[in-house]
Structure formats: C-alpha cells, structure tokens
Amino acid sequence: MLDEIKENTPLENLEETNESATTNEANSTVETPILTSQETTEALLDEVILADEPKTKPAKALKSAVKDQPLADDNNADLETLVETLDNLVNNGPINKIKDEVEAIKTVFDAKFKTLLETQKAAFIAEGGDSIDFHFSTPYKTKYNELLNQYKKTRAQFYKALDQELQDNLKIKLDIIKALKELIDNVEDTNKYVAFKNLQERWNKVGQIPRNNYNDTWQTYLHHVERFYDLLHINNDLRDLDFKHNLDEKEKLIKRAEKLASEPNIDVAFKELQQLHKAWKEDIGPVQKEIREEVWNRFSDATKVIHDKRHEAFKDIKVEFDENAAKKEALITSIAAFNPEMLKSHADWQNAIKSIDKCRDEFFKVGRVSRKQNEALWKKFKEATQLFNSGKNEFYKLVKNEQLDNLTKKRNLLNQAQTLKDSEDIVAAAEVFKKIQAEWKNIGHVPRKYSDKIWHEFKDACNHFFERIHAEKEVDNHGQIEAFNAKKVYLEALKKKAEDSKLTVTQDNLQEYIKDWKTLGYVPDGKRQIEDKFNKFLEKSLEDLDLDKKDLAFIKYKMLMDGYKATNNIKKIENEQFFLIKKIDELTREIQQLDNNMSFFSNTTESNPLFANVLKTLKKNQEDLKVLKEKYDYLKTL
C-alpha cells in the first residue's frame, strides 16, 4: 500500500534553519537538511486548499474537456457519461490517486444537474405547479450519490489501513535501531560489518512511518550509524570504500539540486527536491568526517535557492488568498442580511432564494483561501445559510398546512359537485354549480401530489352536469322553434279575424286565447318578441271591453306573469313572489294596528273625522290586501 502512494505522498516535514544555524555535519552525528530560511513557508503550503485547483493533469483535462463542451439538450446523456466515468474510477482506480478526478467530476456533474433541475422546475411552474411542491431526480443522480458514498468509505478504509501499516513500519525500524545498538556493543569484530550491512539493507526496505515520528526515528538511526563508523577499528579499507561510494552519490544529488534552480515550474522543482532529500537521508550513508560539513553546505545552499524562489511565489499566493477571503466575507454578509421575519409571502421567499443561490454560487466561484481562513469562512457561511434555511423551512411548513386546509375545502366542493351532477332540478343545481365554481377559484393552492387529480375530478363533474344542460337545451330548442312557428301562425290568425271583424272579444274568450297560447310552449330566447306582440294584441283587445279597472289591471298582471312564464324567466316570478309576501305581511300588520287603534275611540261615528280617516285607511288596506293575495295565489299556479 505504501508503495502505491509513494509518489503522491509528500515527505515528512523537513526542518528549516537559517544559514547561521546550519548543522555542522562534521561536529554532529545527525544530518538535518536545510529547506528554507523562512519558517512560514511549510505552514503556508499546508494551508493551501487543494480542492480549489486540482494538481493532476487527468483532472485538469477532464474539467477542461467537459467545461468546453456546451450543455446538450439531452442532459441525461451527459450525466450518464459522468456517472460511468466516476463508477470506473471508484471501482478500478487507486483510491489514493483519484481525488482530483473525483472532484472534477463532482464540479461538472453538479453544474449540469443544477441546470437540468432549473429547466425541469421552470417547466413544472409553467404548467401551473407550485415551486414548493417541485421534486425531481434521475437514476443517474441516485447512482452518483451512491458512488460518492462508496468512494468516501473506501478512502477512509484505505487510510485507516495505511495508518496501521505506518505503525507497523515504525515498530520494525525501532527494532532495527535496537539491533544496531546491540551490534555495536556485543557482536564480535569480525562479524560487525556484515551484520551492519544487513541491518542497513533491512532499514532501506522498510516503508514509510508516521510523519510525527519520522525525524526522531531517523536521527536516532543516523546517530547509531555514525557511532558504528566512528567506533569501527577493523577493516578500514571497507570503511573508506563505503565513504567514497557515499561521496560519489551525494555529489550526484548536489548537481541535481543545483540544476533545479533553472527549472521554471517551482512546484516541479520542489517535488524533485523532496525526493533528493529523501535519498540523501535514507538511501546514502555518511562521508568522511573531514569533508562532511563542506558536502552538506553545498547541498544546503542548492536547497536554499529553491526554497527562496518558492517563498517568493507564496507571497503572491498570500495576497490572492487575502483578496479571496475578503470577497467571501462580503458574500456571507449579504446572505446574513436576509431577515426571515421580513419575508411574508411566497413571492418574497422565492426572490430571496434566488438571491441566496446567486450569492452561494459566487461564494464557490471565488478562488482559493488559506486553510485557516477557509475553516472560519466556511463556518460563517454555514451559519448564515442555515439561519436562512430554517426560516424558509418554517414558512413553507405553515404553507403546507394551509394547503392541506385548502385540500379539505376543495374535497368538500368536489363532493357537492359529484352529488349534484345528475340532479333532476337543473335550475337549482345550476345555481349551486356556479356558486361552488366561484368558491373553488378563491381557494388557494393544494399539495402538488393531489392538485391534478382533484382538479380533474372536479372539472369532470362540472362538465358532466353542463353537458346534460346543453343536451337538454338542444332538445328544447327544437321544440321551441316549433312552438314559435305555431305561435306565429296563431297570432296571425287572431289578427286576421280582428281585421275582418270576425273576432268576438269577451273576457272569457280572452282567457281561452291566453290558455291556447300557453299550450303552444316556450319559444327560443332570440325569438321572444312574439310574446310582446301577443301581449300588445291582448291589451288592444282589452281596451274594447267594458271592464272594471281592477279587473283590467289583474288581467294585465296575469298576462305579464304569463309572459315571464312563457319566456322561462323564473327569476322575475320569484322576485315578484318575494315582493308580494313582503307587502302582504306589511299590510296585515298595518290592518292589525288600525283595528287596535279603533278600539281607543269613544266616538265611533263617521262624524268623528279622525275615526273616519282611520276607517277609510283600514278599508283601503283590506282591499289592497285582497288584490295582493289574489296575485300571490295566481303566481302559485304558474
């Protein structure tokens, strides 16, 4: 496992010293490589937010390729491709080397899915849906989430196993150090050098150990190696040969380090420098004590050149970090400025949500910040968005309850509609349908999952009822046309007789004419002028009769009501009934009051003018009451 991550795992923290503090290799048994004179360089490096800018070329290529490709109309095809790529990475790629590729896929997938989601939501709202009822997902999104969870679990397991392997390697190296100490103290001189070489070979084969144990372990090991060489008094030829070999190898490392000064890519130079330091410390032994300081200083000087260049580069990065942090801080302030208590309506919340989403998108588009800044900003960002989301959720929870109340109201109206749709009392049912349709329009939204179903059921009930009315009207219209033609012939015949003086006009035969006219039936709405012509004919005929004014007035009243009946103007007849009932009630109470007042007169003769006036009013009211009752009785026959 350690071999798999060797290239991508940075070396253990390399100690930094100033030139004045450079360790004298000739006077010390521990080699301490010099990286830079600035203590903040490594700390700043650790703070870089790597997720903002993938370092591996495959990740950059993936982002660039998909970013440059325009969003297709079939977004699902793009999502499917991304999910397949992610599936292949998670299940087939080395888990420790695919982070940048996974992050690149996440960025592109989330952007494409957001675009698709907004398109679907706009279509949903355009069809009359409420945004709070909108829900959309695809099999690709579900698979995508599953793969991300699998990636996180596998990665966690990998690094857990890696940590255990580092601990095991540490134990092996500590055992080697212990064996080296025993070798120096106990083994016979003739066997020391061979045993020492065996321990060195074992040491070099052991993999990496935990970062925080690295320096102490290495320095302890190097200290005992130095002790071995310093205390070795036999076979000096082998010792000198080993020193010469180590010097040759370190000369090669120095030349490579000096050449890195001309490398334009500081990241590439630094990464190779780490490998050189690893080889210097772990793969190559010491040189002769007399030249040890000189050799070390040359390597240290070459190292310092690279770190100075890198430090200058990080100065610019620090400025960029601070500028980006200020932008993110401003966006967080904008988000926090939204007060949920000031948002009272659905429109207010939708506008606020769009503004928050815009701020959120801009927040993530802002470039890198330091790790320390990122943690503080992310905490503020989450707190601001969570406060807004809490208010939003509370508002739409209340809206949801209101919609459930609306659903109950609409279900009640639906039950009325379904009960009345086959009613035989067409006129009364039509009035109820008009009323419940108006009430339906005034009721607000219901939950989306019920909206279409209840609306179609209500609409079907209304359509069923009004289609019945239209069907019956079609039948009635045919009969009404026949009635109009018959009435036209009948009226022309009456007029012809009247012109020829062959028409006998009496009160009785006028009633017969009216009765015959009624039996002919209703006429279409557009031809009701025939009724007016008939009434004018009757009125002219009545003028020729010697009738009492009251009788004449009553006959005309009946003709008027009959006309309403003939034109199916039920509303007029009902209004007349209400009027008569009201007048009858008023006159009845007046008559009772007048009867009561008369009991208070001591002089009940007509010579008393006050009594005479009350008596006259009483008689008139009684006569009017009689006429009203006759009219009311006639209306009840219609």
What does 111-131 look like in DSSP terms, one character per residue?
HHHHHHHHHHHHHHHHTT--G
As given in the structure block, the two tokens for residue 598 are 């008369």
Torsion of CA 585, 591, 594, 599, to 10 degrees: -120
Phi, psi of 430 (to 5 degrees): -65, -40
d(CA 111, CA 67): 10
Q: Determine the pLDDT at residue 532.
A: 81
State yes or no: pLDDT of 502 exceeds 70.
no
The sign of the torsion formed by the CA atoms of 379, 380, 385, 387 equals positive
Residue 4 has pLDDT above 80, yes or no: no
Residue 114 banded pLDDT, cuts 50, 70, 90:
confident
Q: Whole-structure pTM over 0.85, yes or no?
A: no
CA–CA dist 459, 414 (Å, integer): 9
d(CA 100, CA 344) in angstroms, rounded, equals 44
Task: Kindly tell me if the per-residue pLDDT of 534 is higher than 60.
Answer: yes
634 near 562, Cβ under 8 Å? no
Tokens read off for 232: 């070795």
> Is pLDDT above 50 for 112?
yes
3-state secondary structure of 48: strand
CA distances for 290 relative to 26, 211, 221, 554, angstroms: 7, 32, 21, 146
Q: In the predicted model, is pLDDT for residue 470 greater than 50? A: yes
φ, ψ at 370 (rounded to 5°): -70, 160
CA distance 481 to 460: 31
Cβ–Cβ < 8 Å for 32, 17: yes
Does the structure show a pLDDT above 60 at 13?
A: no
User: What does the alpha-carbon distance between residue 326 and residue 121 come to, in Å, rounded to a whole number?
Assistant: 34
The confidence score (pLDDT) of residue 174 equals 92
DSSP 377-432: HHHHHHHHHHHHHHHHHHHHHHHHHHHHHHHHHHHHHHHHHHHHTT-S-HHHHHHH
Structure tokens at 451: 């909206």
Which of 292-301, 335-344, 480-489, 503-512 is predicted least confidently?
503-512
The conformational region for residue 521 under phi > 0 = left, psi -120 to 50 = alpha, else beta, is left
Cβ–Cβ < 8 Å for 208, 9: yes
Q: Confidence band (pLDDT; 50, 70, 90) for 121? A: confident
Which pLDDT score, from 0 to 100, does residue 504 have? 63
SS percent in the chain: helix, strand, coil, step 5: 80, 0, 20
Tokens coding 175: 């055992």
Q: What angle do CA 445, 450, 456 make, to 5 degrees?
A: 90
- Is residue 149 predicted with pLDDT exceeding 90? yes
What confidence score (pLDDT) does residue 491 get?
A: 84
pLDDT band for 296, please (50, 70, 90 cuts). very high
96: pLDDT strictly greater than 80: yes
Mean pLDDT, rounded, for 454-464 = 90
Is residue 582 pLDDT above 50, yes or no? Answer: yes
Check if the beta carbon of residue 585 is closer than 8 Å to that of residue 601: no
Which two tokens mark 594? 């007048």
Q: Is the pLDDT of residue 453 over 80?
A: yes
Residue type, 59: A
Alpha-helical runs (H) found in 93-235: 99-126, 139-186, 189-205, 211-231
User: pLDDT tier at 531 (50, 70, 90 boundaries)?
Assistant: confident
> What pLDDT score was predicted for residue 42?
32
Q: Which pLDDT score, from 0 to 100, does residue 118 have? A: 80
pLDDT-above-90 percentage for the chain: 10
Among 387, 297, 293, 373, CA closest to 337 = 387
* 113 to 326, 365, 436: CA distances (angstroms): 29, 17, 43
The alpha carbons of the chain give a radius of gyration, in whole angstroms, of: 52
Look up residue 185 and give its two tokens.
């103290």
Mean pLDDT, residues 150-163: 90
* Amino acid, single-letter form, for residue 246: N
Rounded to an integer, the average pLDDT of 425-454 is 87
Q: What is the pLDDT at residue 501? A: 66
The per-residue pLDDT for 254 is: 92
Contacts of 87 (CB under 8 A, 6+ apart): 143, 147
